[in-house]
Amino acid sequence: MPNEPAAHSDQSTPANHTDDVAASAGAPRASKTKPTIRHRILRTSGLLAIIYVGVCIGLVVMETRLLFPGAYMEKSILMDPNRFEPDRPTPGRVETITYAAVDGADLEGRLLIRDGAEDVILFLHGNGIHADEMDGWTRRLSDSWNATVLTAEYRGFQSDGFTPSEVSTIEDAVSAIDTLSQTTNTPISQIMVYGRSLGGGVACGLVAALHERGDSIEALCLDRTFDSAASVGADRFFFLPVRWLMKNQYDSVKALANYEGALVQIHGTPDRIVPRKNGRALYDSLILEHRDWIELSSMFHNDRLPTKTLDVAGRKLKALRDEAFPKADMKAPETLTTAE
């Protein structure tokens, strides 16, 4: 009959469908759990890698702002307006002294010329303040150490649009010490250098720069200074390859490798910005006969340095310098005569 093939076809379709279902039921299903977990892990890892690389790039881009905040800030209102002020009246007047950087730009330091001064000091400030905000400190240092003091400035800290760097700050310190030497008619070797915080790293770089050109200083004071800025950064951002990424390393240990003068280091035990261990690492790395370590158990990084401690540091540094370079024992030049 004409309709039989169609009927046969209708009967075979359910059979085939049943067979397909049975075959499908009998075959093992592909597991979706493992690929899903693997996919999530890969996707999360990729996202974290992108974020990590982004943070590294951000650190590189923002390095100068993190390391030299004072170059990007207006004049600051100090947390303690009196922390730099002298405890007693100080003779002399702090005035601006203008001198040229290596690129010809004008630098404006603050100079206090003290009548009857025993010494001449170049002071190098830290990264979060400007030279003209430190007149009180300049007077304190002058009074405590009976010295003429120049508080130097760095390019970029004068609203001049310059981007500071390790190289430029050290160059500016060289310009400052040359100017101070000429202004006071003092040999560079007899100028005492005092560096605080990042300024201590600049001071160490200055020592190395002077050594390269055949000059040296006899006395160096480092106040809350580090073994290297990269070391401090690596400890703070332990999850980032700071030592590879950081351009401005300020390696104080390397910079002082050839230093043979007197050294006094001052540090506070609870300092969290430049931890004590970084200051001590610098001190312990140096092979110097004439040196001393002064530690204050309650001084944080931005605390006022007690006047008594400043007085003691000055006396110790001068005594160590005089031991290392005894002026009284210097022999007069011999007179050469021609043999007859």
User: What was the pLDDT predicted at 36?
Assistant: 81
Instruction: Tally the domains of the chain.
Output: 1
Asked if 241 and 213 count as a contact pair (C-beta separation under 8 A), the reply is no
User: What was the pLDDT predicted at 331?
Assistant: 42
pLDDT band per the 50, 70, 90 thresholds, residue 207: very high
User: Global pTM?
Assistant: 0.80
Residue 317's domain is classified under what CATH number?
3.40.50.1820
- Torsion, Cα 148 149 155 159, to 10 degrees, reads -110
Predicted confidence (pLDDT) at residue 335 exceeds the cutoff of 50: no
Could you report the per-residue pLDDT of 13-43, keeping only the tens digit for each? 444 554 554 445 555 555 555 568 877 777 7
Q: Are strands 119-124 and 147-151 parallel, antiparallel or unpaired?
A: parallel
Cα-to-chain-centroid distance, residue 246:
11
Q: Which residues pair with 86 in a beta bridge?
A: none
Q: At which residue do the structure tokens 């075979």 appear?
A: 12
d(CA 56, CA 42): 21
Of residues 134, 41, 140, the one with CA closest to residue 81: 134
Residue at 244 is within a domain: yes
Residue at 161 is within a domain: yes
Residue at 17 is within a domain: no
Greater model confidence, 243 or 172: 172
- Residues whose CB is less than 8 angstroms from the CB of residue 22 and which lie 6 or more positions away in sequence, other chains included: none
Residue at 248 is within a domain: yes
Q: Directed axis angle between helix 229-236 and helix 276-285, to 10°? A: 140
Q: How far is CA 244 from CA 149, 168, 172, 205, 256, in A?
A: 37, 21, 26, 20, 22
d(CA 108, CA 176): 10
Residue 102 phi/psi, 5° resolution? -65, -25
Asked if 249 and 263 count as a contact pair (C-beta separation under 8 A), the reply is no
HEC string for 37-53: HHHHHHHHHHHHHHHHH
Residue at 51 is within a domain: no
Q: Are strands 191-196 and 119-124 parallel, antiparallel or unpaired?
A: parallel
63's tokens: 């390095």
Residue at 222 is within a domain: yes
Predicted confidence (pLDDT) at residue 122 exceeds the cutoff of 70: yes
322's tokens: 């005089």
Residue at 116 is within a domain: yes
User: What was the pLDDT predicted at 40?
Assistant: 75
Could you report the per-residue pLDDT of 289-316, keeping only the tens digit for each? 999 999 999 999 999 999 999 999 999 9
Average pLDDT for 268-276: 97
Predicted confidence (pLDDT) at residue 2 exceeds the cutoff of 90: no
Burial of 78 (0-12, 13-18, 19+ CB in 10 A): middle
In terms of residue numbers, what domain contains 85? 69-325
Residue at 13 is within a domain: no
